[in-house]
Structure 1
Amino acid sequence: MQNRVLLIEDDDELRQLLARYLDSQGFTVREAANGEDGLALAAEHHCDVVVLDIMLPDLNGLEVLRRLRSRTHLPVILLTARGDETDRIVGFEVGADDYIPKPCNPRELVARLQALLRRISWDQKTEADAVRHYGDVRLEPDQRRILLNDQVLDLTATEYEILQVLLAHAGSVVRKTDLMQWALGRRLSPHDRTLDMHISNLRRKLADQGGKRIETVRGLGYSYRVPA
């Protein structure tokens, strides 16, 4: 079965270029040139992942992301202006799973899409059904969800991946390079703060502002500490 991509991009030339390349790589692509049309397609047609430009002519891409997140946990990859750190930070806070700076290399987009979809598919096929407890946190692999004090955490697909890796290695340090590879499916590159942003969001959702649950081990990575 082909993976279905919803591509929301107002630049006609870029959108058509990416759509043709994705189609050549085996993806089924639906296109939208603005935020309202993109939201309508997301509601009417099932898709597996959304590629969303931040700069749209009607609704800002971040507002589109907010509306998507209010009703779905579909993985979302943002297309952002190169060097615009603020948009990336806000995008992760709103619920983006990954980002690619523009101008976008079609091959890199395909690699990111395949890595994201592969992680989700692998979890669905191989995760044991057994519920696991880590103090007041419960991992339910069959439902792809994590609960804190019996309340389901509102996690993106990537946040789920990161947290379940940290939980599986609770009490041990997970190197940033390993966590990036296992949870995001790519190597850690210099100045890439994607992982740090996701960790920050997880701490906020776990009410872990002091870093007592997810501890930063300077120069190495992160460690999840199960509360006593």
Structure 2
Amino acid sequence: MNKSAKVLVVDDEERIRRLIRMYLEREEFIVEEAENGVEGLELALHNEYDVILLDIMMPEMDGIEVCQELRKEKNTPVIMLTAKGEETNRVQGFEVGTDDYIVKPFSPREVVLRVKALLRRTATKGYGEVNGQTKDLLVFPHITIDYDAHRVTADGQEVGLTPKEYELLCYLAKSPDKVFNREQLLKDVWQYEFFGDLRTVDTHVKRLREKLNNVSKEAAKMIVTVWGVGYKFEVDDE
């Protein structure tokens, strides 16, 4: 599955880019590099990548800004590279649409494993589909989640989601009408224990609703805010 995957590594330290490239190419990934945020954003917008590895602290344009601009146009999976102790930056990264993060100093093997794990979660259309087998679907009024194809449709139209938006929707939809608080969502969807800033969840819910709303207003209404508690996926009995 990963052999033809294309990865963009954006980091201002040549040593780190070379190290990551070496380990990824051993696993037969196709690797491209950018040495600053401006160059990285340009490449990301004009090429198709399966995963982008993005350093936070860079000259000209930092990783947060790059991810923010990228998310206006693309849902490409992003793994943020952060220095130890940059807790606030990691929270900001999640808010702008980062899907995972790796803390420096890191093991290059960890990077390879994280990239592979993210690729498994974002398997494109066709993976897991076998002729004659029943497709793994979650079907509701207005929304269908196709796990085999990693695809969401709202009233028959496909909805383009980032990996984390997709995971959040799936998590809520697997337990219809159950209310989840923000701490629980942050822990289970992001595997993140830091509770000091829960805007990450609110930002993703808002973005998810907007994308659903662009296709189906009824689908967007299924993501319900329970004031003072959290969120739920509401299914009307029809």
> Which band: TM-score by shorter chain?
0.7 to 0.9
Superposition pairs of residues 103-142 of structure 1, within 5 angstroms: 103-121=105-123, 124-126=126-128, 128=135, 132-133=139-140, 138-141=143-146
TM-score (norm 1): 0.73
Aligned partner of 2:214 in structure 1 is none
Q: Describe the superposition over 1:23-44 as per-residue Cα deviations: whole angstroms up to 9, x where unpaired.
A: 1122111011111221222234
Aligned partner of 1:157 in structure 2 is 163
Q: Describe the superposition over 1:66-124 as per-residue Cα deviations: whole angstroms up to 9, x where unpaired.
A: 12112111000101121212111111111111111111221111111111111121775
Other structure's SS at 2:226 match: coil
User: Partner letter of residue 120 of structure 1?
Assistant: T
Other structure's SS at 2:123 match: helix
TM-score (norm 2): 0.71
CA contact (8 A) 2:179 2:226 kept: no
User: Partner letter of residue 43 of structure 1?
Assistant: L
- Same amino acid, percent of matched pairs: 35
Question: 1:197 and 1:124 mapped to 2: Cα distance?
Answer: 34
Question: 2:14 and 2:236 mapped to 1: Cα distance?
Answer: 51
Aligned partner of 2:45 in structure 1 is 43
User: Partner letter of residue 85 of structure 1?
Assistant: E
CA shift, 1:154, in A, is 6.9
Other structure's SS at 1:159 match: helix
2:18 to 16, 19, 31: 16
Question: 2:161 and 2:168 mapped to 1: Cα distance?
Answer: 10
User: Partner letter of residue 140 of structure 2?
Assistant: H
CA shift, 1:46, in A, is 2.2
User: Partner letter of residue 34 of structure 1?
Assistant: N
1:90 to 89, 92, 100: 92
CA contact (8 A) 2:50 2:77 kept: yes
CA shift, 1:19, in A, is 0.9
2:58 to 56, 78, 81: 56
1:170 to 172, 176, 179: 176
**Alignment coverage as a number of residue pairs:** 211
Other structure's SS at 1:55 match: coil
CA contact (8 A) 2:10 2:36 kept: yes
Question: 1:106 and 1:198 mapped to 2: Cα distance?
Answer: 27
- Give the 3 Å change call, closer, same or farther, for CA 171–89 of structure 1 in structure 2: same
Aligned partner of 2:152 in structure 1 is 145
Other structure's SS at 1:74 match: coil
User: Partner letter of residue 99 of structure 1?
Assistant: Y
- Give the 3 Å change call, closer, same or farther, for CA 82–6 of structure 1 in structure 2: same
User: Partner letter of residue 108 of structure 1?
Assistant: E
Question: 1:202 and 1:39 mapped to 2: Cα distance?
Answer: 21
